[in-house]
Amino acid sequence: MTRIDRRFQDLKREGRGGLVAFITAGDPDYATSLAILKGLPAAGADIIELGMPFSDPMADGPAIQAASLRALRAGMTLRKTLAMVAEFRQGDAATPIVLMGYYNPIYSYGVDAFLKDAREAGVDGLIVVDLPPEEEGELCLPALKAGINFIYLTAPTTDDARLAKVLRNASGFVYYVSILGITGTASAPIDQVEAAVTRLKGHTDLPVAVGFGIKTPEHAGRIAAIAEAAVVGSALVNVVAAGLDGNGQAKPGLVAEVLAFAGRLGDGVRKKG
Q: Is the pLDDT of residue 5 over 80?
A: yes
Among 58-67, 89-98, 194-203, 242-251, the minimum mean pLDDT is found in: 58-67
For residue 188, the 8-state DSSP code is: -
What is the average per-residue pLDDT within 49-63?
A: 87
What is the average per-residue pLDDT within 71-84?
A: 97
Q: What pLDDT score was predicted for residue 15?
A: 93
* Percent of the chain predicted with pLDDT > 90: 84
What is the average per-residue pLDDT within 25-32?
A: 98
Provide the H-helix boundaries in 110-189.
Answer: 111-121, 140-145, 160-167
* Percent of the chain predicted with pLDDT > 70: 95
What is the average per-residue pLDDT within 182-201?
A: 79
Q: How far apart are CA 115 and CA 109, in angstroms?
A: 10
Mind telling me the catalytic residues? Answer: 49, 60
Q: What is the pLDDT of residues 100-141, one digit of tens each?
A: 999 999 999 999 999 999 999 999 999 999 999 999 999 999
**190 falls in which pLDDT band (50, 70, 90)?**
confident
Residues in contact with 19: Cβ distance below 8 Å, sequence separation at least 6, in sequence order: 44, 45, 46, 47, 220, 224, 229, 230, 232, 262, 265, 266, 269
Q: What pLDDT score was predicted for residue 273?
A: 45
Asked if residue 231 lies in contact with residue 209, where contact means CB atoms within 8 angstroms, the answer is yes
Q: What pLDDT score was predicted for residue 263?
A: 97
Q: What pLDDT score was predicted for residue 200?
A: 94
Q: What pLDDT score was predicted for residue 191?
A: 83
What is the average per-residue pLDDT within 24-35?
A: 98
Q: What pLDDT score was predicted for residue 186?
A: 59
Q: State which amino acid sits at residue 181.
A: G
- The closest alpha carbon to 48, from 236, 254, 190, belongs to 236
Q: Average pLDDT over the chain, rounded to whole?
A: 93
Q: Is the pLDDT of residue 241 over 60?
A: yes
Q: Is the pLDDT of residue 215 over 60?
A: yes
Q: What pLDDT score was predicted for residue 60?
A: 75
Asked if residue 36 lies in contact with residue 67, where contact means CB atoms within 8 angstroms, the answer is no
What is the average per-residue pLDDT within 229-235?
A: 94
Q: Is the pLDDT of residue 208 over 80?
A: yes
Q: What pLDDT score was predicted for residue 56?
A: 84
What is the average per-residue pLDDT within 68-87?
A: 97
